[in-house]
């Protein structure tokens, strides 16, 4: 049972601005029947250039309906410039919070609004796709993922899925989402003190640290995609590993080797580590 | 909440008052350990024995073939893992795409450990193609696990026939009969099922007790080791009160199986027919004929299941949905999807599951409210043109 607050339930049970405006100035649609939620926004501008009327139609759960409804209330009377600054976080705050797994409902509200504004400005309906598609199951682009990460201060793939659905289908893009997170967090954390890396390690300590990094930092990432990894040997700064499970047949294993395994070992063990895959 | 109309009996059931009565002494005075040497504890043993016999009678097997567990999921895990351990040279598991997560998640976990997993497909009625099963069975197959009846749609598989096919190949057959036991008659004496799981709380016993039936001579490793309870197959001090309760529930189920297939079925049919008639763009999911007498799974196009459930809840009506939103995952029910139901309808699927405790008044109340709820949500739906 979802723990919806009173305000969410109120907007679900008695939604305001439900419906569709005839001959609207802007139309925006977001979501799809496959995803289980879809929102259609229509608005009309007043003579003063402010949103005079706005209505929504939503196929979706209680939080999708409540998010859509409260958003229409929030933007009524605003200029398009002002309205386009509304983020999903503003919608969630206004609702007094949503369950974590339902955050994507507020994102859908924000995106439909932006689509409707773009439709008014550019005269073309529907979703504006910017960037490249990362999650093919739900059609989410890297730009959209970056936006939710930055605006909501996210730091885990699971959170990204809760906010914009990316990674919630087949799960193949989870590695890529992790890299987007890493990229953004890397930017944010630059300038901060880098995590203290041990200075001088004995061989035994080094192997133990590599083993620990693999089991704590790397294995969980690969497991999310049905893969696994084993440490085979360490020769000086050369680390030899073997991919298991899905990873062993993965065409992008080479990529995982450098960008995940080696990057993590550089971060937590030593910069001079070179990772090689055991001969298959 | 003032009035509750409980149409979610495939999720769990009310504990029968008769069951609660027989359990009481074991939660108060008769607290002894059945393994003890003294009379005070030892006297409890015979109540467990009686329960075992009641369950054996319901299933048509010998009481020595009944092992008590903590729930249906434990029984499923014990069956599949226990058999895999016994046949380390066999690497293939056959199941279906529509199993309960207790089996499906477990099988996928085994796949990630190197087993070959075959998930048999279902057609749009939710039925299997037995030729596919025949083609997949081979010397490498360790176990076939196929549910008796589906928890979401109520679709009943031809288990006797399936068990025969599997047996002919010399492979062990397990069935998750959690939804079937107590609702439809079954007789283990007359079929080739090797292992069968059942769960107490689906047949008016309390939560926290289940059974794994193990046909005599079936090779299976012990699943919880420790003491000598349950012939050392499932160690741990017995959940005496619940076991006694389950025995009583089995007894009642035997007596009431007729009611399930007359009174309960009649109520279900009335509910289902009225809703399909009063709500346009609604359709029944699953085989209409080979189906549990208490279950109706209906899809409402263009609206979403969680919203329907919350509005039903406003009237005190309890049901469940295969919508993605109710689970917190993003995918709608794997069962409904496997049947090829379109996405819009999959997200709007609602399951009503009745029991002998439901009344005609309750059914009439739901029949009255359902079209109101559906219309209200359709007015909000972008897929429906405004009037």
Query: Among B281, B308, B325, which would you mutate to test the A interface (most chain A Cβ atoms within 10 Å of its Cβ)?
Result: B325
CATH number of A6-122: 3.90.1010.10
| Cross-strand pairs, B6 | B318
Tokens of B351: 């399951």
Does residue B158 come out as left (phi exceeding 0), alpha (psi in the -120 to 50 range) or beta?
A: beta
**CB of B267 within 8 A of CB of B363?**
yes
pLDDT tens sequence across A66-113: 999 999 999 999 999 999 999 999 999 999 999 888 888 888 999 999
Q: Which residues contact B314 (CB under 8 A, 6 or more apart)?
A: A13
Residuewise pLDDT in 10s, chain B (387 residues): 468 999 999 999 999 999 999 999 999 999 999 999 999 999 999 999 999 999 999 999 999 999 999 999 999 999 999 999 999 999 999 999 999 999 999 999 999 999 999 999 999 999 999 999 999 999 999 999 999 999 999 999 999 999 999 999 999 999 999 999 999 999 999 999 999 999 999 999 999 999 999 999 998 998 899 999 998 999 999 999 999 999 999 999 999 999 999 999 999 999 999 999 999 999 999 999 999 999 999 999 999 999 999 999 999 999 999 887 666 666 789 999 999 998 878 899 999 999 999 999 999 999 999 999 999 999 999 988 754
Q: Which positions in chain A touch B381 (Cβ < 8 Å)?
A: 57-59
Domain ranges, ordered by start, for chain A: 6-122, 133-189, 203-277
Could you report the predicted ipTM of this complex, rounded to two decimals? 0.86
Indicate yes or no: CB of B382 within 8 angstroms of CB of A161. Answer: no
Q: What angle (nearest 5°) sits at the alpha carbon of residue B347, between those of residues B342 and B352?
A: 110
Span B17-252 CATH architecture: 3-Layer(aba) Sandwich (3.40)
Give the whole-angstrom CA distance, residue B303 versus residue A279.
54
Smallest Cβ–Cβ distance between A60 and the set B304, B328, B342 belongs to: B304
* Residue partners of A43: CB distance under 8 A and separation at least 6: A21, A24, A25, A26, A51, A52, A53, A54, A55, A75, A116, A120
Contacts of A138 in chain B (CB under 8 A): 330
3-state SS track over chain B: CCCCEECECCCCCCCCHHHHHHHHHHHCCCCCCCCCCCHHHHCCHHHHHHHHHHHHHHHCCCHHHEEEECCHHHHHHHHHHHHHHHCCCCCEEEEECCCCHHHHHHHHHHHHCCCEEEEECECCCCCECHHHHHHHCCCCEEEEECCCECCCCCEECCHHHHHHHHHHCCCEEEEECCCCECCECCCHHHCCCCEEEEEHHHCCCCCCCEEEEECCCCCCCCCECCCCHHHHCECCCCCHHHHHHHHHHHHHHHHHHHHHHHHHHHHHHHHHHHHHHHCCCEEECCCCCCECCCEEEEEECCCCHHHHHHHHHHCCEECEECCHHHHCCCCCCHHHHHCCCCHHHHHCEEEEECCCCCCHHHHHHHHHHHHHHHHHHHHHCCCCCCC
- What is the CATH code for A203-277? 3.30.300.130
**Fold classified for B5-11+257-380:** 3.90.1150
Residue B112 to residue A245, Cβ atoms within 8 A? yes
Tokens of B53: 């016999």
Measured between CB atoms, does A220 come within 8 Å of chain B?
Answer: no
Q: By three-state DSSP, how is residue A272 classified? A: coil
Of all residues in chain B, the one with the smallest CA distance to A161 is B330
Known active-site residue A35: yes
Distance CA A55, CA A73 (A): 9
Distance CA A260, CA A243 (A): 12
CA–CA separation, A246 vs A101, rounded Å? 27
Contacts of A59 in chain B (CB under 8 A): 302-304, 344, 380-383
The CATH number assigned to the domain with range A133-189 reads 1.10.10.1100
Interface test with B, best of A15, A23, A37, A61 (most B CBs within 10 A): A61
Domain ranges, ordered by start, for chain B? 5-11+257-380, 17-252
SS3 state of residue A58: strand
**Single pTM value for the model:** 0.79
* Backbone dihedral angles phi then psi of residue A156, each to the nearest 5 degrees: -140, 150
| pLDDT tens-place string over residues B278-302 | 999 999 999 999 999 999 999 999 9
Residues 6+ apart with CB under 8 A from B283: B276, B298, B299, B301, B345
């Amino acid at each position: 049972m979802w723990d919806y607050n009173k305000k969410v339930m109120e907007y679900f049970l008695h939604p305001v601005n439900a419906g569709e405006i005839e001959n609207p100035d802007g139309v925006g649609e977001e979501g799809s029947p496959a995803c289980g939620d879809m929102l259609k926004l229509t608005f009309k501008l007043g003579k003063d250039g402010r949103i005079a009327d706005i209505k929504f139609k939503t196929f979706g759960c209680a939080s999708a309906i409540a998010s859509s409804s409260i958003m229409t209330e929030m933007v009524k009377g605003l200029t398009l410039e002002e309205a386009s600054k509304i983020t999903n976080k503003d919608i969630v705050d206004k609702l007094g919070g949503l369950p974590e797994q339902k955050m994507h409902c507020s994102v859908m509200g924000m995106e439909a609004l932006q689509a409707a504004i773009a439709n008014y400005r550019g005269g073309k309906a529907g979703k504006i796709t910017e960037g490249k598609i990362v999650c093919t199951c739900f059609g989410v682009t890297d730009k959209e993922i970056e936006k939710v990460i930055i605006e909501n201060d996210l730091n885990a793939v699971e959170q990204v899925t809760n906010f914009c659905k990316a990674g919630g289908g087949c799960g193949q893009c989870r590695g890529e989402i992790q890299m987007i997170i890493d990229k953004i967090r890397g930017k944010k954390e630059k300038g901060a003190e880098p995590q203290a890396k041990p200075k001088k390690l004995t061989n035994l300590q080094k192997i133990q640290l590599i083993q620990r990094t693999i089991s704590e930092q790397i294995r969980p990432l690969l497991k999310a995609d049905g893969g696994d990894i084993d440490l085979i040997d360490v020769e000086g700064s050369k680390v030899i590993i073997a991919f298991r499970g899905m990873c062993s047949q993965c065409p992008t294993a080479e990529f995982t080797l450098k960008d995940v395994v080696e990057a993590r070992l550089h971060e937590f063990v030593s910069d001079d580590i070179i990772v090689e895959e055991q001969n298959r | 909440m003032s009035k509750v109309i409980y149409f979610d009996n495939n999720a769990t059931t009310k504990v029968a008052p008769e069951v609660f009565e027989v359990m009481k002494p074991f939660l108060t005075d008769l607290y002894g350990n059945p393994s003890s040497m003294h009379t005070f504890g030892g006297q409890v043993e015979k109540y467990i024995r009686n329960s075992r016999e009641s369950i054996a009678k319901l299933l048509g097997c010998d009481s020595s073939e009944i092992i008590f567990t903590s729930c249906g999921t434990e029984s499923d895990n014990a069956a599949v893992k226990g058999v895999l351990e016994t046949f380390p040279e066999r690497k293939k598991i056959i199941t279906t795409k529509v199993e309960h997560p207790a089996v499906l998640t477990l099988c996928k976990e085994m796949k990630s450990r190197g087993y070959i997993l075959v998930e048999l497909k279902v057609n749009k009625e939710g039925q299997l193609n037995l030729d596919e099963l025949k083609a997949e069975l081979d010397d490498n197959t360790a176990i076939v696990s196929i549910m008796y009846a589906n928890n979401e749609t109520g679709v009943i598989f031809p288990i006797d026939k399936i068990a025969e096919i599997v047996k002919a190949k010399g492979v062990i057959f397990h069935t998750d009969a959690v939804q079937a036991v107590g609702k439809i008659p079954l007789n283990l004496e007359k079929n080739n099922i090797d292992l069968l799981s059942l769960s107490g709380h689906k047949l008016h016993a309390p939560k926290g007790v289940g059974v794994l039936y193990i046909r005599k001579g079936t090779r299976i490793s012990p699943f919880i080791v420790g003491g000598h309870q349950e012939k050392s197959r499932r160690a741990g001090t017995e959940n005496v009160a619940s076991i006694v309760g389950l025995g009583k529930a089995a007894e009642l189920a035997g007596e009431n199986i007729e009611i399930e297939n007359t009174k309960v079925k009649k109520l279900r049919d009335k509910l289902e027919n009225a809703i399909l008639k009063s709500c346009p763009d609604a359709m029944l999911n699953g085989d209409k004929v080979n189906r549990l007498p208490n279950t109706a799974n209906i899809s409402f196009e263009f609206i979403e299941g969680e919203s329907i459930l919350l509005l039903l809840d406003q009237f005190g009506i309890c049901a469940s949905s295969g919508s993605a939103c109710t689970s917190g995952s993003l995918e709608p029910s794997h069962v409904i999807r496997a049947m090829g139901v379109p996405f819009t309808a999959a997200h709007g699927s609602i399951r009503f599951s009745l029991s002998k405790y439901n009344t005609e008044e309750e059914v009439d109340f739901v029949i009255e409210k359902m079209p109101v709820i559906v219309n209200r949500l359709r007015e909000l739906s972008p897929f429906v043109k405004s009037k």
